[in-house]
Chain A
C-alpha cells in the first residue's frame, strides 16, 4: 500500500542536541510538507518542497532545517536553536503543491518530540 511513513513515533531530545525526524513517501508525489501541531492549535507550516532539490521556508522555519535530495524523502532536523521543540510533527505530501493543483495532502502518523 502507498503511503507516508514517519519515524520514530516518539523522540526525546536533550538540551543542545540536534535531532532528525524521518519522512518517506512511496506515492510518487512531487510536493512534501512539514507541520508542527501544538495542543489546541491548528497546523503550522515549517517547510515545504515543491520538487526534488528545492524547498521553501514556511511560517515557523526558525530553528529547523530540511533537505530534499530524493523525491521520496524529506527529513526534518530540529536544531538546538529551536527553544521550544516539544510538539507533534506531521509530514504530508501531495501530487503537486496543493495551492496550484487543488490536490489534497496525504499525512503520515506523526512524530511526538519531547525534551528530556
Chain B
C-alpha cells in the first residue's frame, strides 16, 4: 500500500532562516512526488515535482526538494524564509497501481508553516 507521512504538523521559523518540511513516503512502485502550497481559503498551487529525472528538484519561490530513494524521503527546503511563505504545505505521491487513492494519488495531511518576524 502507498502512504505519505508529513512528519511535522506545524513548523515555525524566523524570517530569513532556513525552512525544512519533511515528507516520507512508501510505494511499491517508482513514484512521482509533488509538493503543493495552500494559502488560507485558496486552492493548492504546485511548488515542484519529481518524476524520476534529477533527484534534486528546483521549484518556484526558491523552494527545492531532494528525492532520496534509500531514505524514502522527499523533504522540502528553502534557504531563507519570507513572511509570504506562511501557508499549508502538502506532499503528494503518485504511482500507478500503487494502492493509493482511487486515482493513484495519496496526499499527506499537511504541514502548517509559521514565519516569525
Q: Which residues of A come within 8 Å of B, CB atoms?
A: 4, 6, 33, 40-45, 48, 56-59, 88, 90, 92, 97-100, 102, 104-110, 112
- Is B14 part of the binding interface, using a Cβ–Cβ cutoff of 8 Å? no
Partner of B102, one of A40, A58, A102: A58
| Chain A residues in 8 Å Cβ range of B98 | 99
Bound Cα distance from A98 to B45, whole angstroms: 15
| Chain A residues in 8 Å Cβ range of B110 | 40-42
A43 touches B107 (CB 8 A): yes
Smallest CB–CB gap between B20 and chain A, Å?
A: 20
- Is B56 part of the binding interface, using a Cβ–Cβ cutoff of 8 Å? no
B41 touches A109 (CB 8 A): yes
Closest to A40 in B: B109
Q: Given A40-B109, A42-B108, A43-B107, A99–B96 Cβ distance below 8 Å?
A: yes
Contacts between chains A and B (CB distance < 8 A), count = 77
Partner of B32, one of A59, A102, A110: A102
| Chain A residues in 8 Å Cβ range of B90 | 42-43
Bound Cα distance from A34 to B23, whole angstroms: 24
Q: Which of B68-102 contact A (CB under 8 A)?
A: 90, 94-96, 98, 100-102
Show 30 A/B contacts (Cβ-Cβ < 8 Å), sorted by A: A33-B103, A42-B90, A42-B108, A42-B109, A43-B44, A48-B102, A56-B102, A56-B103, A90-B43, A92-B43, A92-B44, A98-B32, A98-B103, A99-B98, A99-B105, A100-B104, A102-B32, A102-B94, A104-B49, A105-B44, A105-B46, A106-B46, A107-B36, A107-B43, A107-B44, A107-B45, A109-B42, A109-B43, A110-B43, A112-B41
Closest to A50 in B: B103
